Amino acid sequence: MKAIVVEEYGPVENLIAKQVPDPSGPSGRDLLVRVEGCSVNPVDVKVRAGKYDDYPDYYQHVPQPYQICGYDAAGTVIAVGPDCKLFKKGDEVFYSGSPIRQGSNAEYQAVDERSVGHKPKTLDMTEAAAMPLTYVTAYEALLERLEIKKGEQAALLIINGAGGVGAVASQIAREILNLPAVITTASRPNTIEFTKKMGATHVLNHREDLEKQLQKLNLDIPLKYIFIAHTTDQYMEVCARIAAPFGKICSIVQGQARMYGTQFMAKSLSFIWCLLGTKPYYQLDVESHHRILEELAELIDSGRIKCHLVNRLRLTVHGLREAHRIIEKGGNIGKVSLGLTEQGNGELFV
């Protein structure tokens, strides 16, 4: 099959086209999926660059001698393993795959069905591929790690509200959890407008004093929860200052997360990491991802959750390199996805 691979970790030019063997099987509960759309996340960029450090032993477990990057995907099931219970041949699906198996930047991918959901009917393949990683990450952070209760009279601050994860976290907070105040950070007119569209009730400028801006809001409920989706270490001290006593702060971005000398201890604050890959990496509660994605498909088709896709590209080497450059540049809004039917030059996967 055709694939876009990394044989040597490094710059974006190291993404190259390669003819590789089709995935074997499928066996067990694996599905064999014809990939029709995929998206690019910051984790893909870090993996390709050889700088991914959320797992200290990550590069000891990835496929060799080449790695196919790509977590998110959407496509059609062309074969099912003998133990599959949830899908059949011909089903249209979307998913975020295992962090240590071959990824979605290829014509075909083998993926555990417990990480897969039926594709929303109202989204095309490129749109559907934008949703899984960011949505499941935000869902786990807000509902499982922070343990926010539905209808709770508390405020949530999302740092980087216009990014991929922030854009769905604000929707979850408003549409599923019904929180009265969902505060996000953004600084440019277009990012401010976008995060409001995604559900933010208030927006703070991350380039200015967050504490002073928060005080001016005169909220009558406590800021009990903070979700960090950008530059953890930059925000630890201010989070300690603005969080209500007994509050919780969750981050998805690796860092030192130093708390000594701040108000973390004085306020009895909790700090929690959230990593989407923990369940598949350690094979714990892996079927929850299927459940979350099935629920997401219903929410999308009912219009309660919006797709946050902003950039569409053709699934070629040129397109994938461009997607990586967009992420590396920073300041991007929403998601970048690639599809088989998108406009552009070049042969698919080449």
In the predicted structure, residue 256 carries a pLDDT above the cut 90: yes
Angle between helices 132-139 and 287-301 (to 10 degrees): 110
pLDDT tens-digit readout, 297-337: 999 999 999 999 999 999 999 999 999 999 999 988 999 99
At residue 25, the pLDDT reads 85
Work out the pLDDT band at 295, boundaries 50, 70, 90: very high
What b/e readout covers 280-315, taking b as 16+ CB neighbours within 10 angstroms?
Answer: bbeeeebebbbebbeebbebbeeeebbbbbbbbbbb
* Residue range 135-273 in CATH 1.10.150.530: no
Q: Are 293 and 318 in contact (CB under 8 A)?
A: no
- Mean of pLDDT values over 123-148: 98
Per the prediction, the chain carries an average pLDDT of: 97
Percent of the chain, pLDDT > 70?
Answer: 100
* Residue range 2-131+285-339 in CATH 3.60.15.10: no
* CA distances, 153 to each of 25, 192, 224, 276, 291 (Å): 50, 24, 9, 27, 27
In the predicted structure, residue 226 carries a pLDDT above the cut 90: yes
At residue 89, the pLDDT reads 98
CA 210, CA 226: separation in Å to the nearest integer?
12
Q: Where are the domains of the chain?
A: 2-131+285-339, 135-273
pLDDT tens-digit readout, 35-80: 999 999 999 999 999 999 999 999 999 999 999 999 999 999 999 9
Work out the pLDDT band at 24, boundaries 50, 70, 90: confident
Phi-psi domain of 73 (left: phi exceeds 0; alpha: psi -120 through 50; beta: other):
beta
pLDDT tens-digit readout, 93-104: 999 999 999 999
In the predicted structure, residue 181 carries a pLDDT above the cut 90: yes
- Mean of pLDDT values over 223-249: 98
Phi/psi at 115 (5° precision): -105, 10
CB atoms within 10 A of CB 211: 12
